[in-house]
Structure 1
Amino acid sequence: MVSAEEIVRQYPYDPDGVEWLVPPEHVDITIAEYDRAWPGAVAALADLVRGALGDEVLSLEHVGSTSVAGLAAKPIIDLDLTVADSTDESRYRPQLEAAGFTLILRERAWHEHRMLTHDVPQANLHVWSPDGPEPVRHVLLRDWLRAHPEDRDAYAAAKRAAADGLRTGGGGSGMDYNELKAPTIGEILDRVFRAHGLR
């Protein structure tokens, strides 16, 4: 059971705590209008993951901006996969790689997060253990944005500003983009947490 204290705690990004198996690239962040094809892409990816792992899948959630109808987003699907132990890669990595996913990073200090990518449809698959607070935060934020269009629009504006900031600043990585929009996410999450009595 994840405690309220863990859910609301801020976890600043630590670049030294990331083990990259595929080095990050400087990318041109593109923010696209919401695409009604995204739910179909999610369904196909979910079938791949469940077909590869079967009962190893404890939960699988569509999160991130593509999970919120009407929200502009990078055209990359984000899925949160919970397994019994994210550190035991032998239970999921070979099966997922056979299904077309590639493990690109480990974040041992951040709830033992693992991330795999998929090319077509383009996706990030985040792997967590059951006691991780981050998947809870992701679902809380997703559901809030679905129900609060004013915050959805504020978040879209922050995403566009972050992408523009990277372009005018000479580029950057996906992590750099995340850092630029983090203040707006923090403000929205504060409202989410207060509404749920977590703060």
Structure 2
Amino acid sequence: MPYRNDITTFHEPPVPEGQSPYVPGAGPSQHLEIVGWSDAWREHFQLLVERIQGALGWHALAIEHVGSTEVRGLPAKPIIDIALIVADPNDESSYVPELERVGFELRVREPWWFGHRVRRRLEPTCHLHVFGYDSPEVVKHRISRGWLSANPSVRDFYAHTGREAAARLEMPVNTPWSTTLERKGSQRRSTIERLSQWG
């Protein structure tokens, strides 16, 4: 388990020189769409869980619905974000071939950030975030998910802040997404810092 300081501290190490988080042929999404919350998202999650469990068996230590689509009432990108916990995300031979067979393609590989990988699947659209059992990011996901679900006023503030960020970037909803990973990271830090003031 990660230590408390790991959970309460941001970890956004720079990309090592000469490397890219994206695999060849992949890159940042060029489109951002925010829609109203849908009951179908939880059904999509359950379908995806069945696919992942069926492919990996016991290699899937945990499968969790994370991100905005899990928080009832919160507007979100219509993409199901899932955290998949494996023993060692760097040991790709233990889970990658099986995931590829059920339609999850590798998009991001960040061994310098807790071994993080992102695999994408279409129909239903999903971003599968692979972490090790000792990653503090998984705990952060659980905390933010629970906090937003239990506090409607904070949830509404979070939704409003996201739309404000898009407006500051002159990036209306349903238009091309032109910001960089670094800018998204800064927005995330700013939003969480503001949320923390709600105590």
Q: TM-score, normalised by structure 1?
A: 0.87
Deviations 1:86-131 (A, max 9, x none): 0000011110010000111111221110110111111100001111
Task: Kindly state the Cα deviation for residue 156 of structure 1 after the two structures are TM-superposed.
Answer: 0.5
**Does 1:19 find its partner at 2:21?**
yes
Relative distance call for 1:37 and 1:170 in structure 2 (3 A) is closer
Partner residue, 1:71 = 74
Q: Structure 1 stretches of 5 or more lacking a match?
A: none
Give the drift of 1:170: 7.4
d(CA) in 1 for partners of 2:42, 2:180: 23
Distance in structure 2 (CA, Å) of the matches to 1:186 and 1:32: 24
Equivalence for 2:124 = 121
Offset at 1:66?
0.3
**C-alpha separation in 2, matches of 1:180 and 1:11:** 14
Look up the equivalent residue of 2:131 and give its one-letter code. Answer: W
Alpha-carbon distance, 1:28 to partner: 2.6
Percent of aligned pairs sharing the same letter: 35
Q: Deviations over 1:18-41 (max 9, x none)?
A: 431143145231111101110000
Q: How many residues align?
A: 192
Runs of 4+ deviating beyond 6 Å: none
- Select 1:186's aligned residue among 187, 193, 197: 193
Q: Secondary structure at the match of 1:106?
A: strand
Cα 1:67–1:26 change in 2 (3 A) is closer
CA distance in 2, matches of 1:40, 1:127: 21
Q: What is the TM-score of this pair, normalised by structure 2?
A: 0.87
Contact 2:12/2:113, CA 8 A, preserved across alignment = no
Hey, what does 1:172 align to over in structure 2? 178
Where does structure 2 lack aligned partners over 5 or more consecutive residues?
A: none
Indicate whether 1:162 and 2:168 are aligned.
Answer: no
Alignment match, 1:8? 8
Q: Which amino acid aligns with 2:26?
A: P
Q: 1:46 aligns with which of 37, 43, 49?
A: 49
1:36-57 deviations in Å (ceiling 9; x for gaps): 1100000000001000000001
Q: 1:28, 1:167 within 8 Å by CA — same for their partners in 2?
A: no
Query: What CA deviation, in whole Å up to 9, does each residue of 1:110-164 have, x standing for no partner?
Result: 1110110111111100001111000000010000000011110111112222333
Q: Name the stretch that deviates more: 95-104 or 10-19.
A: 10-19
SS at match of 1:167: coil
1:95 matches 2:95: no
Q: Tell me the SS of whatever aligns to 2:31.
A: coil
Query: By how many angstroms is 1:10 displaced?
Result: 1.2
Residues 19 and 45 (structure 1), Cα distance of their counterparts in 2 relative to 1, 3 Å cut: same
Residue 33 (str. 1) matches residue 36 (str. 2): yes
CA distance in 2, matches of 1:2, 1:172: 34
Q: Give the Cα separation in 2 of the matches to 1:85 and 1:43.
A: 24
What's the offset of the Cα at 1:78?
A: 0.4
